[in-house]
Amino acid sequence: MNSYKFLDKINFPSDLKKVSENDLQKVSDEIRAETINAVSETGGHLGASLGVVELTVALHYVFNTPKDKLIWDVGHQSYPHKILTGRKDKIRTIRQGKGISGFTKRSESEYDPFGAAHSSTSISSALGIAEANRLSNKNDNVIAVIGDGAISGGMAYEAMNNAGVSKTKMIVILNDNDMSIARPAGAMGTYLAKIFSGKIYFSLRETIKMIISSFSKRFSAKAAKAEDLFRSAISGGTLFNSLGFYYIGPIDGHDLNSLIPILTNVRDSKYEGPIMIHIKTKKGKGYSYAENAQDNYHGVTKFNISTGEQYKTKSNHPTFTKVFSDTLIQHAKNDSKIVAITAAMPDGTGLTNFSKEFPDRAFDVGIAEQHAVTFAAGLATENYKPYAAIYSTFLQRAYDQVVHDVAIQSLPVRFAIDRAGLVGADGPTHAGAFDTTYLSTLPNFIVMAASDEAELVKMINTSVNINNKPCAFRFPRGTGIGVPLPSINEVIEIGKGKVIQEGSKLAVLNFGARLNETIKASNNLKKKGITITIIDARFAKPLDENLIWQLATTHESILTIEEGSIGGFGSHVGEFLSRKSLLDRNLKFRSMTLPDIFIDQDTPENMYKFAGLDSKSIEEKILDLINSNIVLQKQN
């Protein structure tokens, strides 16, 4: 850690409160510098954190945290918050193995009252805490900080609708920076821009006067009505007022001279009901390379502070995401019915290039996965071929829509599930651990997993012509293994696995991107004179039952491998073996899955080693199975 005049003496908010209000901007400047320095060494979510430095300082200076509860939506902007709340000395471990989380985390600090990492949850959780305070006769403040991207999520509206009629005191700070991960999509972004550009940017004097007057017990009903009319005349009315919030703003979120007195008055007010403070900030504030970048350095690798250059691992192999994007573009050139949908992740899902090629056939629906899925279902009813490109961890948010709106109606929505498996530094909140399990339980669903980039191309090719039921193909984060890519005409037969190599006694059924690790394990076993059968299963549903039957009747053991949770591919294979009484003939069956825990962030290599899904663990499992069969034969 660098040496700082003020920050060196600040470990907790109680230390911050000893600083003169006139020096708070200097404290903010030091926090901003320390955030830049730390993230340059670790990588992480830089732009969002830089945008809320002054807000973070003001909140901890005015409110009595952790008694007063401060909730950050998503939590990727919480680095300055962590610096001020006892984690300054650990900030260079952020997102690292055994380090602190890149998001808020209840088990990490009492200053994190609610864990996060998915968006649009802060108002709901804050209202729950506020209601608990009311029931317990506590008068602690509850503050939720939500971005303009996150507030576009449907859950935020549900929470505001509930809060507006509850009349429970809580404070929502809308951090409006014109950016989420990509630029916010939809009418909310336009609405907020209209508010900011209109004649409702209150001066500090007007804002404080209105807060004091409207919160005063002596303020008469007549005067209150006049004040409402005044605010309405200035703003033309606001959505937030209509939802039952007392709306204040917009306010410059980097001006501590405005933030401190406004937050103080809100803190001390006797107003009964929810309050919305709308602040305007700049993502990446104070670091020119972040301010000028298209994504404002939302998520960065390690970088050179002086030049802004990020140290990205170079590979000659394309990423799985790029292979998906390029292949879909090729098909879309030949098929005008192909459309693509993303939920605020056009870059992450590879659909940015698709949207450039086909702007009328690409849809970014904002942070609204539920809507994205049902929107895709609607397109499918009109014989379009929708591809819903959604990270595995985010598709979880739309499971009811997948079941009710897609599966029950057997609509041919095609789910491109990116980030399947463990994802490294983002930790358990972003791990794609459950999609195989929650999709392969659904009738008529086709569930595929790509073992490499060539198989991904074939699965996309195959999905184009699946017109009578939904399907999904999952693929991991990162680059492929460097195999040649097939043409867009090469398809695979639905429900058919692929024999990679033939051996004896033990057969491995691999589902997904652990195939290369399985082959590594097999190569080591060959040196010991052991040759195994390896199958690229390709499908969790429908299973290749004929192939599994053949393996079960010609081998002593079957081992399934997948980078997903219990209840997925292996469970379906085991159920088939049991149903067909194939386990009654002393066939040994084992499954290798992700363990039944949430795995903390680390490098992907270390995470897979911990999960027991690296090549060494696979080799040891195979040896254990073979040796247990030898013992069994001797006993017989």
* pLDDT tens, residue by residue, 242-274: 888 999 888 999 999 999 999 999 999 888 899
Greater confidence (174 vs 200) lies with 174
DSSP string, 305-351: TTT--B-PPP-SSPBHHHHHHHHHHHHHHH-TTEEEEESS-TTTTTH
Give strand pairing partners of 75: none
Peptide bond into 274 cis (omega under 30): no
pLDDT at residue number 194: 57
Q: Is 261 helix (H, G, I), strand (E, B) or coil?
A: helix
Q: Decide if 321-474 and 498-635 have a common fold.
A: yes
**313: pLDDT confidence band, cut at 50, 70 and 90?**
confident
pLDDT at residue number 177: 86
Closest by alpha carbon to 521, among 583, 608, 457?
608
**2: pLDDT confidence band, cut at 50, 70 and 90?**
confident
Q: What is the CA radius of gyration of the chain?
A: 27
Determine what percent of the chain is predicted with pLDDT higher than 70. 89
How far apart CA 611 and CA 606 sit, in angstroms, is: 8
Greater confidence (116 vs 72) lies with 72
Return mean pLDDT, the chain.
90
Statement: residue 391 has pLDDT above 70 = yes
For range 114-130, the mean pLDDT: 95
CATH topology assigned to domain 51-73+102-292: Rossmann fold (3.40.50)
Statement: residue 437 has pLDDT above 50 = yes
Q: Is 397 a catalytic residue?
A: yes
Statement: residue 22 has pLDDT above 50 = yes
Q: How far is CA 10 from CA 15, 24, 120, 310, 432, in A?
A: 5, 12, 31, 30, 38
In CATH, the architecture of 498-635 is 3-Layer(aba) Sandwich (3.40)
**608: pLDDT confidence band, cut at 50, 70 and 90?**
very high
How far apart CA 548 and CA 252 sit, in angstroms, is: 64
How far apart CA 581 and CA 560 sit, in angstroms, is: 18
For range 362-377, the mean pLDDT: 96
Residues 69, 143 contacting (CB under 8 angstroms): yes
Q: Comparing 295-304, 392-401, 421-430, which segment has the lowest mean pLDDT? A: 295-304
Strands (E), 41-136: 69-72
pLDDT at residue number 201: 41
Tell me the per-residue pLDDT of 138-154, one tens digit each, with 9 for 90 and over: 999 999 999 988 998 99
Statement: residue 429 has pLDDT above 70 = yes
pLDDT at residue number 215: 52
Crossing angle of the two packed helices 545-554 and 569-579, in degrees rounded to 10: 70
Which listed residue (82, 397, 474, 541) is catalytic? 397
For range 520-533, the mean pLDDT: 96
**193: pLDDT confidence band, cut at 50, 70 and 90?**
low
How far apart CA 315 and CA 338 sit, in angstroms, is: 30
Residues 327, 461 contacting (CB under 8 angstroms): yes
First to last CA, the chain: 66
Which listed residue (34, 54, 369, 455) is catalytic? 369
Q: Is 18 a catalytic residue?
A: no
CATH topology assigned to domain 321-474: Rossmann fold (3.40.50)
Q: Is 301 helix (H, G, I), strand (E, B) or coil?
A: coil
How far apart CA 634 and CA 636 sit, in angstroms, is: 5
CA–CA–CA angle 2, 427, 51 (5° rounding) = 50
Tell me the per-residue pLDDT of 588-607, one tens digit each, with 9 for 90 and over: 999 999 999 999 999 999 99
For residue 292, how many other CB atoms are within 10 A of its CB?
11
Residues 320, 450 contacting (CB under 8 angstroms): yes
Which listed residue (283, 361, 538, 621) is catalytic? 283
**217: pLDDT confidence band, cut at 50, 70 and 90?**
very low
Q: Is 369 a catalytic residue?
A: yes
pLDDT at residue number 195: 53
**Domain parsing of the chain, residue ranges:** 51-73+102-292, 321-474, 498-635
Q: Is 606 helix (H, G, I), strand (E, B) or coil?
A: helix
Closest by alpha carbon to 269, among 203, 217, 202?
217
**219: pLDDT confidence band, cut at 50, 70 and 90?**
very low
pLDDT at residue number 315: 83
How far apart CA 560 and CA 501 sit, in angstroms, is: 15
